[in-house]
């Protein structure tokens, strides 16, 4: 048995907990297995347990070379998508392990004088309308139960229907109109059948308008009992929503979402046919750092649709509008001999599908960037650029965040060969410095971090990245020399003159030499990823600290002033602003406040840094 080369640890580390579908591929790119999950992370993790796997599952896992996921809104949508993929591709392990029976529909007969609604599964041979598919038999029965209460169209078998001489129990409890014994007119029954078909087609608003009009007509001719029945029908429809799944769109539709970060792009394509998501594919085109999402789509779409291997749909919905959208449309129309439109602004079902494609692209890109093979290449490129003997095993990066000197926070993020080690991230609340002094803030954070590391409390990094230029790098070198930590390589990341991604200047902590890497260099992509993560984490810590500080009362910390006295002071003066404008004598007038305490309050309010 071959051994799987799939890096499950890195993949699972970044996998989302949302519902969706996962597709497992072998080394040749063949689809091995498709599965659905309410929680993708938990479900896929179960395949990589150390024990407790069946022989078939172990055989599957040994062949996995890649896993792709498609995020869905609900587990129900994941089930439908899983079914469509299995029917389309027939993955070998699904055939062995799955019962590939078809999904159920609701059937509305047309051959009978009195049409009926029924559960249907299998070939659609009988004349009539089929509504669905539904994800389970329970969903169909739930909908049929609703139809009985609202529209009262019969659901009994023909043999039972033709042999009735008196109405059955369903009529007695108000869930059938009794066509078997002539208790409803042909016209009324036909109208209820039409309303049923409209409702099952997703046109519930049209049904409710019809019922409202009929109710007003009945009331106008003083048929109040009939008007009351129509009113009840209308109320029931307003209280429920159609249980049809991801239906609601017709024709051929592709949705493309692109996500680009750190020199790598991910394009997620969803294929929708007749209102159903039939499948999805993930592509990772090689890009240069300075290419944005629109440029990626500009290059990808012609290759994808004009290769002759891909069906050109009637409609293409994209996350970013291509620069040459009109030209591309004309070319695709000429190729396919029919009208093709490209859209970015969509609503309803299309908007939901596009959002799913965006979420899936982001999730898959995170997994790709954290993959062991991707990280190995970037680490080797970094080793070459920094002239190291071995690729770095552990890297740290520091950044500072504040708002005009308020609530200064320093962040420390950690990366290793598997990507981000979030459990080792740290934030430092900076105190006792002049607001806005980033040099002093960086010095304090580094001293607090590396004092502990010098005592053996933690693991030293191979590389210390500093978000800054020569000044910050020199300061970092002094701190490490202070603690005799000479084995750590210091690298500064200074923004270039344009302050755009791809133009950063690297500062060597040993020599002070400056250098720039090409925009498509994998080492630069890794450095940017680490720097951006440090920046994100610093901003997150700063915002949390600032929010906490602003929620705290200005009277916090005054000895002798507890919650009751704070409440009495605010009630007396109306607000903190009113209290700040009060004199010591005026503060003394508050019950329970003596002259000494009033002076303490006054001094506190007028010496707190604003």
User: Among candidates 261, 507, 269, which has minimal Cα distance to 374?
Assistant: 261
State which of 31-45, 150-164, 278-292, 534-548 shows the largest mean pLDDT: 31-45
- Is the pLDDT confidence value at 103 over 60? no
What dihedral angle (degrees, nearest 10) is formed by the CA atoms of 162, 167, 168, 170? 110
Residues making up the chain, counted from first to last: 610
Confidence band, pLDDT 50/70/90 cuts, at residue 427: very high
Write down the pLDDT at residue 448. 93
The verdict on residue 424 lying in a domain is yes
Phi, psi at 485, each rounded to 5°: -105, 80
Give the ranges where 19-74 is alpha helix by DSSP (H).
40-45, 55-63
- Is the pLDDT confidence value at 305 over 90? no
Residue range 456-500, pLDDT digits in tens: 888 899 999 998 889 899 999 999 999 999 899 999 998 765 556
Give the pTM. Answer: 0.46
Q: Helix 137-150 vs helix 224-239: angle between axes, to the nearest 10 degrees?
A: 160
Write down the pLDDT at residue 273. 66
Write down the pLDDT at residue 95. 47
Whether residue 396 is found in the same domain as residue 441 = yes
The verdict on residue 359 lying in a domain is yes
| Interval 567-593 mean pLDDT | 82
Whether residue 411 is found in the same domain as residue 262 = no
- Is the pLDDT confidence value at 608 over 50? no
Whether residue 471 is found in the same domain as residue 510 = yes
Better-scored residue on pLDDT, 324 or 293: 293
Tokens encoding 209: 């308008």
**Cβ-count burial 374-409 (b if 16+ within 10 Å, e if not):** bbebbbebbbebbeeeebbebbbbbbbbbeeeebbb
d(CA 146, CA 169): 17
SS3 47: helix
d(CA 151, CA 439): 74
Among the residue ranges 91-100, 328-337, 599-608, the one predicted with the least confidence is 91-100
Confidence band, pLDDT 50/70/90 cuts, at residue 506: very high
d(CA 597, CA 558): 9
| Interval 397-405 mean pLDDT | 85
Better-scored residue on pLDDT, 479 or 101: 479
The verdict on residue 532 lying in a domain is yes
Confidence band, pLDDT 50/70/90 cuts, at residue 245: very low
Better-scored residue on pLDDT, 5 or 135: 5
Whether residue 137 is found in the same domain as residue 197 = yes
Q: Which residue has the tokens 């479900």?
A: 43
Residue range 368-380, pLDDT digits in tens: 877 766 788 889 8
Whether residue 53 is found in the same domain as residue 144 = no
CATH code for position 595:
1.10.150.20
CATH code for position 495:
3.30.420.340
Confidence band, pLDDT 50/70/90 cuts, at residue 289: very low
Write down the pLDDT at residue 231. 77
CATH code for position 308:
3.30.420
Write down the pLDDT at residue 275. 66
Whether residue 543 is found in the same domain as residue 570 = no
* DSSP β-bridge partners for residue 35: 22
Whether residue 512 is found in the same domain as residue 597 = no
Confidence band, pLDDT 50/70/90 cuts, at residue 242: very low
User: Among candidates 81, 14, 58, which has minimal Cα distance to 353?
Assistant: 81
Distance of CA 433 to the CA centre of its chain: 40
| Interval 243-267 mean pLDDT | 71
Domain boundary among 370, 388, 421: 370
d(CA 358, CA 125): 39
d(CA 481, CA 503): 30
User: Among candidates 62, 71, 68, which has minimal Cα distance to 11?
Assistant: 68
The verdict on residue 265 lying in a domain is yes
d(CA 209, CA 216): 11
Write down the pLDDT at residue 447. 94
Whether residue 171 is found in the same domain as residue 154 = yes
Tokens encoding 357: 């494609």
Neighbours of 115 (CB within 10 A): 23
CA angle 79, 85, 87 (to 5 degrees): 105
CATH code for position 35:
3.40.1440.10
CB 96 within 8 A of CB 109: no
d(CA 378, CA 526): 6
- Is the pLDDT confidence value at 3 over 60? no
Domain boundary among 202, 237, 267: 202
Domain boundary among 347, 370, 393: 370
Integer distance in angstroms from the first to the last C-alpha of the chain?
A: 69
The verdict on residue 186 lying in a domain is yes
CB 307 within 8 A of CB 289: no
Give kind and range of the element (H or E) at residue 550.
helix 522-551
Whether residue 360 is found in the same domain as residue 389 = no
- Is the pLDDT confidence value at 247 over 60? no
| Interval 259-266 mean pLDDT | 82
Tokens encoding 61: 């896992």
Burial of 70 (0-12, 13-18, 19+ CB in 10 A): buried
d(CA 6, CA 4): 5
Burial of 278 (0-12, 13-18, 19+ CB in 10 A): middle
- Sheet containing 20-25, strands listed edge to edge, beginning at the edge strand earlier in sequence: 31-37, 20-25, 66-71
The verdict on residue 290 lying in a domain is yes
Residue range 168-215, pLDDT digits in tens: 888 888 788 888 888 888 888 888 888 888 777 656 667 777 777 778
Better-scored residue on pLDDT, 182 or 263: 182
Give kind and range of the element (H or E) at residue 487.
none
- Is the pLDDT confidence value at 2 over 50? no
The verdict on residue 348 lying in a domain is yes
Give kind and range of the element (H or E) at residue 25.
strand 20-25
The verdict on residue 61 lying in a domain is yes
For the chain, the helix, strand and coil percentages under 3-state DSSP, each to the nearest 5: 45, 20, 35
- Tell me if the bond preceding 133 is cis, omega within 30° of 0: yes
Write down the pLDDT at residue 341. 92
Whether residue 66 is found in the same domain as residue 88 = yes
d(CA 546, CA 538): 12
Better-scored residue on pLDDT, 344 or 202: 344
Residue range 529-559, pLDDT digits in tens: 899 999 999 988 888 777 666 555 667 667 7
Which domain, by its residues, includes 585? 563-607
Q: Please tell me the total count of domains within the chain.
A: 5
User: Among candidates 397, 455, 403, which has minimal Cα distance to 426?
Assistant: 397
Burial of 439 (0-12, 13-18, 19+ CB in 10 A): middle
d(CA 95, CA 211): 48
Whether residue 164 is found in the same domain as residue 117 = yes
- Is the pLDDT confidence value at 367 over 90? no
d(CA 326, CA 317): 14
- Is the pLDDT confidence value at 598 over 80? yes
d(CA 481, CA 447): 11
Whether residue 402 is found in the same domain as residue 533 = yes
Mean pLDDT for the chain? 81
- Is the pLDDT confidence value at 233 over 50? yes
């Amino acid at each position: 048995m071959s051994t799987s080369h799939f890096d499950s640890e890195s993949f699972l580390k970044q996998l989302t907990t949302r519902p969706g579908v996962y597709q497992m591929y072998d080394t040749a790119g063949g689809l091995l297995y498709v599965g659905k999950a309410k929680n993708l992370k938990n479900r896929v993790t179960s395949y990589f347990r150390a024990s407790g796997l069946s022989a078939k599952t172990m055989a599957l896992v040994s062949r996995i070379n890649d896993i792709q996921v498609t995020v869905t809104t609900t587990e129900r949508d994941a089930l439908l998508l899983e079914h469509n993929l299995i029917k389309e591709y027939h993955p070998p392990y699904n055939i062995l392990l799955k019962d590939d029976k078809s999904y159920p529909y609701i059937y509305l007969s047309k051959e009978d004088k009195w049409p009926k609604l029924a559960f249907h599964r299998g070939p659609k041979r009988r004349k009539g309308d089929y509504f669905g598919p539904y994800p389970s038999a329970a969903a169909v029965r739930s909908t049929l139960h609703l139809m009985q209460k609202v529209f009262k169209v019969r659901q009994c078998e023909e043999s039972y229907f033709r042999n009735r001489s008196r109405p059955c129990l369903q009529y007695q409890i108000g869930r059938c109109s009794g066509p078997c014994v002539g208790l409803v007119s042909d016209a009324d029954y036909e109208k209820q059948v039409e309303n049923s078909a409209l409702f099952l087609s997703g046109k519930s608003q049209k049904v409710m308008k019809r019922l409202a009009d009929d109710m007003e007509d009945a009331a106008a001719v003083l048929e109040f009992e009939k008007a009351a029945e129509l009113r009840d029908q209308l109320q029931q429809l307003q209280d429920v929503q159609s249980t049809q799944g991801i239906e609601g769109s017709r024709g051929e539709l592709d949705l493309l979402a692109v996500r680009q970060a750190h020199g790598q792009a991910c394009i997620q394509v969803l294929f929708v046919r007749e209102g159903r998501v039939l499948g999805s594919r993930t592509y990772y085109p090689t890009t240069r750092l300075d290419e944005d999402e629109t440029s990626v789509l500009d290059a990808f779409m012609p290759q994808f649709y004009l290769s002759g291997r891909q069906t050109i749909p009637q409609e293409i919905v994209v996350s970013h509008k291509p620069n040459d959208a009109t030209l591309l449309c004309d070319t695709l129309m000429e190729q396919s001999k029919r009208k093709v439109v490209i859209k970015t602004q969509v609503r309803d079902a299309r908007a939901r599908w596009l959002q799913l494609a965006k979420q899936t692209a982001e999730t898959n890109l995170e997994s790709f960037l954290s993959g062991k093979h991707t990280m190995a290449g970037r680490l080797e490129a970094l080793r070459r650029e920094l002239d190291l003997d071995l690729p770095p095993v552990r890297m740290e990066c520091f950044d500072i965040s504040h708002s005009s000197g308020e609530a200064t926070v320093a962040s420390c993020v950690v990366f290793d060969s598997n990507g981000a080690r979030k459990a080792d991230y740290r934030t430092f609340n900076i105190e006792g410095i002049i607001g806005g002094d980033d040099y002093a803030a960086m010095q304090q954070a580094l001293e607090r971090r590396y004092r502990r590391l010098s005592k053996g409390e933690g693991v030293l990094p191979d590389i210390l990245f500093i978000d800054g230029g020569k000044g910050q790098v020199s300061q970092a070198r002094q701190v490490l020399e202070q603690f005799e930590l000479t084995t750590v390589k210091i690298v500064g990341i200074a923004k270039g003159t344009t302050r755009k991604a791809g133009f950063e200047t690297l500062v060597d902590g040993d020599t002070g030499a400056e250098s720039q890497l090409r925009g498509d260099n994998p080492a630069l992509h890794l450095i940017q990823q680490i720097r951006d993560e440090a920046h994100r984490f610093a901003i997150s810590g700063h915002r949390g600290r600032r929010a906490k500080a602003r929620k705290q009362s200005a009277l916090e910390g005054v000895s002798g002033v507890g919650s009751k006295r704070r409440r009495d002071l605010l009630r007396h003066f109306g607000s903190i602003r009113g209290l700040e404008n009060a004199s010591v004598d005026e503060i003394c007038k508050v019950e329970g406040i003596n002259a000494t305490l009033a002076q303490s309050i006054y001094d506190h309010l007028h010496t707190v840094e604003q």
